[in-house]
Amino acid sequence: MTLRRGKLGRSHPRYRGVVVEPEVVTSDAHLRPIERRIRRLVAAGVDPAEVAWRFRRSRRSVSQILALGSRPHRGASSSTNPEVPRPLERRILAWREAGASYAEIGARFRHSPQFVRRVEDLARAKLARAEKDDK
């Protein structure tokens, strides 16, 4: 990150006379904007108490943001396999195999019959794709 004093460009944020030029950091992509800005300022040598004052936060809040932001990011859960039907899809398929109509299933799950039909179609396509991949 580059800090410089001087004239402001419209695309650069200003912190008490210091222009902070944005940097693209892929490791911070999972952080919220305020978390990225706080980390950037602390990395530039600004005291965490000053950062807390600038963002109208408590010192404890800033230290918590720094601590939690430095923990390893947990990506998508391993249980979200796109080839495995979700619980709603499994339940709709089971009700359809039992002979229930789209309107009956929709009333049970508080969704429209059209939604139930779409979920069933997607679940069947998912199962067909999984069978095709197994062969």
Give the tens place of pLDDT for each residue, 68-111.
888 877 665 555 677 788 999 999 999 999 999 999 999 999 99
The answer to whether residue 10 scores a pLDDT higher than 90 is: no
Give the mean pLDDT of the chain: 81
Segment (H or E) for 27: none
**Is the pTM for the entire model greater than 0.75?**
no
- Which residues, listed in sequence order, are joined to residue 14 by a DSSP beta bridge? 19
Q: Which two tokens stand for residue 78?
A: 């391993």
pLDDT of residue 92: 96
Q: What is the pLDDT of residues 29-70, one digit of tens each?
A: 788 899 999 999 999 999 999 999 999 999 999 999 998 888
SS3 content of the chain, % helix, strand, coil (to 5): 55, 5, 40
Rounded distance between C-alpha atoms, residue 39 and residue 71, angstroms: 13
